[in-house]
Amino acid sequence: MNKLTLEKIAKLAGVSRSTVSRVVNDHPNVKPEVRRRVQQVIDETGYHPDPAARSLAGQRSGIIGLVIPRAFQFLFTDPYYPRLMQGIAQACNTHNYILSLFLFHTEEEEQKLTPKLLRQQFVDGVILSALPTDDPLISQLIKNEVPTVMIGRPVDTLPVSYVDVSNVDGAFEAVDYLLELGARRIGAIVGPQNTMVGLDRCQGYLNALASRHIPADESLLIESDFSEAGGYLAMQQLISHQPDAVFVASDTMALGALRALREAGMSAPGDIAVVSFDDLPFAATADPPLTTVRQPIRRLGVQAVEMLIDLLQNGLRPPRHFTAPTELIVRQSCGAKIK
Amino acid sequence: MNKLTLEKIAKLAGVSRSTVSRVVNDHPNVKPEVRRRVQQVIDETGYHPDPAARSLAGQRSGIIGLVIPRAFQFLFTDPYYPRLMQGIAQACNTHNYILSLFLFHTEEEEQKLTPKLLRQQFVDGVILSALPTDDPLISQLIKNEVPTVMIGRPVDTLPVSYVDVSNVDGAFEAVDYLLELGARRIGAIVGPQNTMVGLDRCQGYLNALASRHIPADESLLIESDFSEAGGYLAMQQLISHQPDAVFVASDTMALGALRALREAGMSAPGDIAVVSFDDLPFAATADPPLTTVRQPIRRLGVQAVEMLIDLLQNGLRPPRHFTAPTELIVRQSCGAKIK
DNA sequence: TCTGTTTTTGGGAGCGCTCCCAAAAACAGA
DNA sequence: TCTGTTTTTGGGAGCGCTCCCAAAAACAGA
């Protein structure tokens, strides 16, 4: 098959391949009428530059890597991730990048693939989904000056760009709403405390109680792992402490919590009011429909790609930050039994 | 940063870059002691060949593209897809391929990205998830001789490799089980009839009825779209026809079906027995837990990658086929009220 | 030892682009 | 018209690999 090259386009347009390269790359110093003539040939032929040749010649590869670290591989099947990926993919498509997926299942896989990310032989930059605060991958990426954007904020000391939602505020608003409804003995099922999102949503819960001078009861605060089964087990533990409401740090854990209530012959909101986080589509169709903190997951994905492109074009420093607001979506699960 | 190249490894090993290339690519005609010496330098330095250089030099890029066509982009958030992707990613990791994701959201995106797939400038081959039987993408891939493996079988006339599960048999087994339990007025909520999986699971349902000489009742057969909302609407339609059981062609639609029953003040299996397909994790924790046809989703992903690598190494013809068996998982939702 | 054959190894060339520098063209002012 | 400056354009070189062909080395038999 006869492959289109800069040279071939140059011949058709009656210029040199350097001129064609200037047009393709939108360089200045090309006479307008020459630019038009070259662009017309490009449009007519459907010519695209070869990404391997560009990469080899010092240009970038045009590939963005999305890394799901090993520690949270088990959560990859949570409905959050496809939405995040849709946002990321859509922004990649808009900005002419290809999205490559790095799913680390085992330590061996991680050790095998990490050098590819660190040496940037494949990817121009990395979008890194949430990882435990002590995971060494992020500091390796920083050390190797790999352009990186994290989904979710890192530990404060790390000079890395990130996109996030306002987890502290969102959790605060959820718990505050339960307090407004008259709940007083509010429990929480939070995420892993070795993640910033776990810490932040927990902090929001604690802040809301403190703002009403309600002391936090340790027996009402259960750490879980963002899974449905984890939510189920956590609610089983909480029930015996007789909360009148529970803040659950994700919709998926909330499904598990509702299941535990059903199995105990109880229900939300009659016995225990429930408020969760995410506003995934099943939140609206759960039994009962969940009051939840909506976060703009696809928008985070889009924003991460645009932030990464900004790093690629304008340098890694200073690190960029983007924090989206959340929105409390009130449904049936939060009706409170006021004691 | 000082980049490792064949030339540098050659100098360290005291051979030429051609010899190093032979070792890296496991070519014959290298003296054993030379091979060992070169391999030791490679191991010590962590050298990897540059994929862009290999691609440009005529070798392959080492990238496999996973395409989710536009028509089913709305289903990408179904929990089926992350599992499929995990299987695909795991096999790519094992076989030293990078996985690139092509999510087509709009026709414009499809037109923009399809040439990249057809001209193979990025990917060595394509894994293509299910698409409508009339989607032109598959025949474009065939015409351009792009190594392609489909998830799910295509229309019979197409000479393309695929991996699938035994949809007809699985659906047959599910419906047959309902008949064994005494159900006689069995409805079906099936997938889009412009997809082979939709047609096949429907056929299995019809085959099971026919095997017991039970005429199919058109009013009991509802075409849906594999979504939760679609399952909900379909069950709302079915209820008025008073089936004593319903075969639902996916777990996700079954969730919607259960929600419709609840809203009608009914339940499974007391009022209407329900059997579904997929055995996604929430099938076990649904209320009631779903009897469902288990399909090995991750294994399909692994198999698709290995089939694609076989095509790349041994030629596109003849097309390969792999069909995994299914397994009926019996849970509470299928208990039947025998009239 | 010599000659023909086989095995092993090395280096030229090219893949398709970008960068850089120099040449050509265009322009402006004296 | 001439000269100096600016703008536009072209082509050499190289990125890091693979392929191919030729050279060198090794081998075997006379």
CATH code for the domain in which residue A118 is found: 3.40.50.2300
Lowest mean pLDDT among A279-288, B122-131, B157-166, B215-224: B122-131
User: To the nearest whole percent, how much of chain B has pLDDT over 70?
Assistant: 97
Q: Which residue gives the smallest C-alpha to C1' distance to D7?
A: A29
Find which nucleotide's C1' atom is closest to A18's CA.
D10
pLDDT at A338: 41
pLDDT at B312: 85
Same domain, B78 and B176: no
Number of folded domains that form chain B? 3
Stretch (H or E) spanning B161:
strand B161-165
Same domain, B285 and B310: no
Q: The tokens 């999305």 sit on which residue?
A: A66
Same domain, A221 and A286: yes
Same domain, B174 and B188: yes
In chain A, alpha helices (H) = 6-13, 17-24, 32-45, 51-56, 80-94, 107-118, 137-143, 167-180, 196-211, 228-239, 251-263, 281-285, 297-314
Q: Using the predicted structure, report yes or no on whether residue A121 has a pLDDT greater than 70.
A: no
Q: Using the predicted structure, report yes or no on whether residue B288 has a pLDDT greater than 60.
A: yes
Residue of B nearest to A83 (CA): B77
Token digits of residue B169: 């048999």
Can you tell me the mean pLDDT for A189-207? 96
| CATH number of the CATH domain containing B44 | 1.10.260.40
Q: Using the predicted structure, report yes or no on whether residue A131 has a pLDDT greater than 90.
A: no
Residue A288 corresponds to which amino acid?
Answer: P
Closest CA to A148 of A112, A111, A185, A118: A118
pLDDT at A157: 83
Q: Using the predicted structure, report yes or no on whether residue B240 has a pLDDT greater than 80.
A: yes
Omega before residue B289 within 30° of 0, cis: no
Find which nucleotide's C1' atom is closest to A51's CA.
C17
For residue B55, the chain A residues in CB contact (below 8 A) are 52
Q: How confident is the model at residue B330 (pLDDT cuts 50, 70, 90)?
A: very high
Same domain, B217 and B152: no
Per-residue pLDDT tens digits for B8-40: 999 999 999 999 999 998 888 899 999 999 999
Q: How confident is the model at residue A172 (pLDDT cuts 50, 70, 90)?
A: very high
Mutate which: B3, B60, B98, B235, vs A, most A CBs within 10 A: B98
Same domain, B302 and B291: no
User: To the nearest whole percent, how much of chain A has pLDDT over 90?
Assistant: 65
pLDDT at B2: 66
More confident of the two residues B114 and B334:
B334
Q: How confident is the model at residue A70 (pLDDT cuts 50, 70, 90)?
A: confident
pLDDT at A124: 85
Per-residue pLDDT tens digits for A298-312: 999 999 999 998 888
d(CA A209, CA A140) in angstroms, rounded, equals: 38
Token digits of residue B80: 């089926």
pLDDT at A339: 38
Does the CB of B6 sit below 7 A from strand D? Answer: yes
Q: Are A206 and A170 in contact (CB under 8 A)?
A: no
pLDDT at A2: 66
pLDDT at A1: 41
Report which DSSP code applies to A290: P
Closest CA to A247 of A279, A220, A228, A271: A220
The answer to the question of residue B275 being in a domain is: yes
- Residue B79 domain boundaries: 63-164+298-324
The answer to the question of residue B339 being in a domain is: no
Residues 110-169 of B with CB under 8 A from A: 112-113, 115-116, 119, 121-122
Same domain, A17 and A131: no
Q: Using the predicted structure, report yes or no on whether residue A96 has a pLDDT greater than 80.
A: no
pLDDT at A260: 96
Q: Are B37 and B14 in contact (CB under 8 A)?
A: yes
d(CA A319, CA A316) in angstroms, rounded, equals: 6
Residue B277 corresponds to which amino acid?
Answer: F
Does the CB of A59 sit below 7 A from strand D? Answer: no
Q: How confident is the model at residue B338 (pLDDT cuts 50, 70, 90)?
A: very low
Q: How confident is the model at residue B1 (pLDDT cuts 50, 70, 90)?
A: very low
d(CA B113, CA B92) in angstroms, rounded, equals: 22
Both ends of chain A: CA-CA distance in Å? 78
d(CA B29, CA B52) in angstroms, rounded, equals: 26
Q: Are A187 and A221 in contact (CB under 8 A)?
A: yes
d(CA A142, CA A147) in angstroms, rounded, equals: 8
Report which DSSP code applies to A289: P
| C1' of D11 to CA of A22 (Å) | 14
pLDDT at B339: 38
Q: Is B73 helix (H, G, I), strand (E, B) or coil?
A: helix
pLDDT at A181: 92
Q: Are A281 and A296 in contact (CB under 8 A)?
A: no
The residues close to strand C, meaning Cβ under 7 A, are: A 3-7, 17-18, 21, 24-25, 48-50, 53-54, 56-59; B 10, 14-19, 22, 28-31, 34, 56-58
The answer to the question of residue B253 being in a domain is: yes
Q: For residue B105, give how far its alpha carbon lies from the nearest alpha carbon of chain A (Å).
A: 7
d(CA A189, CA A168) in angstroms, rounded, equals: 14
Sheet holding A291-294, edge to edge: A221-223, A186-190, A245-248, A273-278, A291-294, A327-329
Omega before residue B269 within 30° of 0, cis: yes
The answer to the question of residue A273 being in a domain is: yes
Q: Using the predicted structure, report yes or no on whether residue A313 has a pLDDT greater than 90.
A: no
Can you tell me the mean pLDDT for A138-151? 89
Same domain, A157 and A178: no
The answer to the question of residue A57 being in a domain is: no
The answer to the question of residue A138 being in a domain is: yes
pLDDT at A50: 83
Same domain, B178 and B260: yes
Work out how many CB contacts closer than 8 A connect A with B.
138
Same domain, A173 and A280: yes
d(CA A35, CA A204) in angstroms, rounded, equals: 56
Ranked by mean pLDDT, which of A130-144, A221-235, B309-323 comes out on top? A221-235
Same domain, A78 and A141: yes
For residue A89, the chain B residues in CB contact (below 8 A) are 101-103, 105
Q: How confident is the model at residue B334 (pLDDT cuts 50, 70, 90)?
A: very high
The answer to the question of residue A98 being in a domain is: yes
Q: How confident is the model at residue A325 (pLDDT cuts 50, 70, 90)?
A: very high
The answer to the question of residue B96 being in a domain is: yes
Backbone angles phi, psi at A153, to 5 degrees: -75, 150
pLDDT at A23: 93
Closest CA to B291 of B245, B333, B249: B333
Can you tell me the mean pLDDT for A12-27? 91
Q: Using the predicted structure, report yes or no on whether residue B109 has a pLDDT greater than 90.
A: no
Residues 242-301 of B with CB under 8 A from A: 255-256, 259, 262, 281-282, 285, 287
Can you tell me the mean pLDDT for B170-174? 97
Same domain, A217 and A287: yes
